[in-house]
Amino acid sequence: MAESDGNLKGCRTGYLHFARLLAFLIGLFLCVPAISQDNTSDNQNGPSDQQAVPKPPADCTPSSNDTTHRYDVIIVGAGLAGLSATKELQHLGHSVLILEANNRIGGRAYVGSIGDDKVPIDYGGAWIHGISTNPLTGLVDSMGFKRERTQLDLPYFINGKEASGKEKKAFDHALEEYEDAVKLAASSVEDQYAQADFACTRYKDLSKKHIPLRQICGDLVHRIPFNKAAFLRDCQRPVHSPKEFCGRANKDLRVTSDVAKSYVPHDTEFEDIIPLLTANAGPLESAAELEKTSAVDGAHFEAGEDDLIDKGMGAFVEKLGDGLPACLNSPVTEVDYSGDVVKVRTGDRVFEGSNALITVSVGVLKKKRIGFKPELPREKLDAIESLQMGNMQKVIVPFKRDIFPKEPANSWILYEGDLSGEALDFAKNQKPPLPLVHGTRVVMGLVVKPLDKNIAIGFFGGDWAKALEKRCEGIEHDSGKSNPKCDDLSIAITKSALSNISGEKSIDEDIQEGGIQVTRWSLDSTSFGAYSVAKPDQWYQREVLAAPVTVKGAKRLFFAGEGTARAIYNGSYPGAFESGLKAARDIHAAMLEENERKDGRF
């Protein structure tokens, strides 16, 4: 499974020290203002009949040369990160304005109405993962939403054949071996990164003092906890710049692979289920192929007990944003942070603030949809380049009756099935070809009877999702009602899987007419993908992206969002939420520091 500030995220388990968690939650509930228990949502429709939700008035027409309309903070993006930051900044006494490109708040937290009963199903992220340590669990409960546990420990299917107990046991054993191996690897990767970073920093500090290279190397060899012959040899070779030295340190000290796929077991007993495991841990969880996924990100992500929300996570996020000052339909095109104030442009309007907080997706940053003056620092640009946007497509199918009477509600099912005809040709003709098992089979995930409703949701992840969504490029640009001109293959493959699993050969007769809806996050200009994924060896770039930018000795430009989250919450709702809180507190501290500097007390 998979998820984000916008989509799904999978079934791995991490740990958080109880005392640290308790302190965080106590601080959270002290800082977040009381919220109404009413959890009704007006944002329950797909794009075809969506209306912008009325919000309390925000001052969306800036007055020129009027400093009374200058804000303490202008926030770009009304997703969960932007909303949590706004609430915290208001709590700390600051004036805030949110600029949002969409005609709604929530970002990739977005609910559609499915079928005749208008069942609220998330187009974006649907789960609260790892509920015992998730900072959103208490908030969701306190706002009156109901949680429903997802059934994860279920057999997989190959075509119409359900896995036997023995086969399921082999799958569980392989998954356990993979998770154990990736956790051990992640610890090694992080340790070696710390050593290389220490060597690099130490070299920079000592070289400024004109300490000879041989002496620096001797110092480092004694400080690094175990012998590295290659590093000792390379360290003493002449260098022309700190960058060259740091490159050698990285090459010699960071030797453990951070490619998650490296840790998939290859025992012959697992041969038949490796494709299912690889897809489940990769594209159906991280939204990228496993060879493009960081082992550190995979090992740390907190999951295990995963709950759906009765009215959808999109409804929760929307409710969290009630009453906040947001200007909708206001896509930001430029942020000028070169002066004593930050100027943020949307269309022909320019808003001024003492600070700006950027919470847009990594995809929007990679596409350079927002220009920055001056250009972002090199390390920030490198971080954006080193993070990628994963892809996850949902095909949401409402039924007239229960065609899965034996399956419990909220069931997550892995499926491997043969393709033929146009679908198989499509997979083979992509460049590079899409992943296939034995040259003919696709692996996908399905959720059966979410919220105990007669609905099934097909999931395509990674390269498959991106290729299928691309068929709608120039035709569709968001999520909602299916389009037979371009969603046909996604729907056909999903129907085939549902037919094989259920045994219903005339499945079209059971589907509500015109009820199928499809997501297309990679085509959405406000996201360009489902959620962020760190490339192997680049997991630490989330922290780099999160760091504020300093100009003329002052911090004025800040970043938040799921792409800046700690590894435990990477690419997910709690990561977005927590990053918004942290950024708000960092802005508050920076403003206090600047005021002290102006008063001569710093």
Bigger pLDDT: 173 or 6? 173
pLDDT tops 70 at residue 170 = yes
Helical axes 213-223 vs 165-208, angle rounded to 10° = 140
pLDDT attached to residue 64 = 61
How many residues are given for the chain?
Answer: 602
Instruction: Domain 2-10+59-113+325-388+541-598: give its CATH code.
Output: 3.50.50.60
The whole-number pLDDT of residue 269 equals: 86
Q: Does residue 107 contact residue 56 with C-beta atoms inside 8 Å? A: no
pLDDT bracket for residue 490 (50, 70, 90)? very high
Dihedral angle over CA of 271, 272, 273, 278, nearest 10: 70
pLDDT(32) > 80:
no
- pLDDT computed for residue 228 by the predictor: 65
Q: Residue 385's pLDDT is what?
A: 96
Least confident of 65-79, 95-109, 239-253: 65-79
pLDDT tens digits, residue range 387-444?
A: 999 999 999 999 999 999 999 999 999 999 999 999 999 999 999 999 999 999 999 9
Q: What pLDDT was estimated at residue 568?
A: 85
pLDDT digits (tens, 9 = 90+) for 321-352: 999 999 999 999 999 999 999 999 999 999 99
Q: What is the pLDDT of residues 181-230, one digit of tens each?
A: 999 999 999 999 999 999 999 999 999 999 998 898 888 888 886 556 77
What's residue 67's pLDDT? Answer: 55
Per-residue confidence (pLDDT) for residue 218, from 0 to 100: 85
Check pLDDT > 70 for residue 284.
yes
Give the mean model confidence (pLDDT) for residues 106-114: 96
- The model's pLDDT over 438-464, given as tens digits with 9 standing for 90+, comes to 999 999 999 999 999 999 999 999 999
* Residue 7 pLDDT > 70: no
pLDDT at 44 over 70: no
pLDDT band at 231 (very low <50, low <70, confident <90, very high): confident
Query: What's the pLDDT at 33?
Result: 37
Q: Which two tokens stand for residue 177?
A: 């071996």
Spell out the domain ranges in the chain: 2-10+59-113+325-388+541-598, 174-300, 392-523
Structure confidence by residue, pLDDT tens digits, 132-163: 889 999 999 999 999 999 988 888 999 989 99
Rounded to whole angstroms, the Cα distance separating 410 from 439 reads 31
Mean of the pLDDT values across residues 295-318? 91
CA dist., res. 140 & res. 306, Å (int): 13
Any residues with CB less than 8 A from the CB of 406 and at least 6 apart, and which?
none
Q: Residues of the chain with pLDDT > 70: what percent?
A: 88
Distance from C-alpha of 228 to C-alpha of 253, rounded to nearest angstrom: 7
pLDDT band (50, 70, 90) for residue 237: confident
Share the mean pLDDT of the chain.
88
Q: What is the mean pLDDT of residues 483-491?
A: 97
Contact 34, 85 (CB under 8 A): no
Hey, which bits of 296-348 come out as E strands?
307-309, 326-327, 334-336, 342-346
Where does residue 422 rank: exposed (0-12), middle (13-18), buried (19+ CB within 10 A)? exposed
CB 282 within 8 A of CB 274: no
Q: Rounded distance, CA 119 to CA 98, Å?
A: 30
Residue type for position 217: C
What does DSSP say about strands 554-559 and 349-358: parallel, antiparallel, or unpaired? parallel
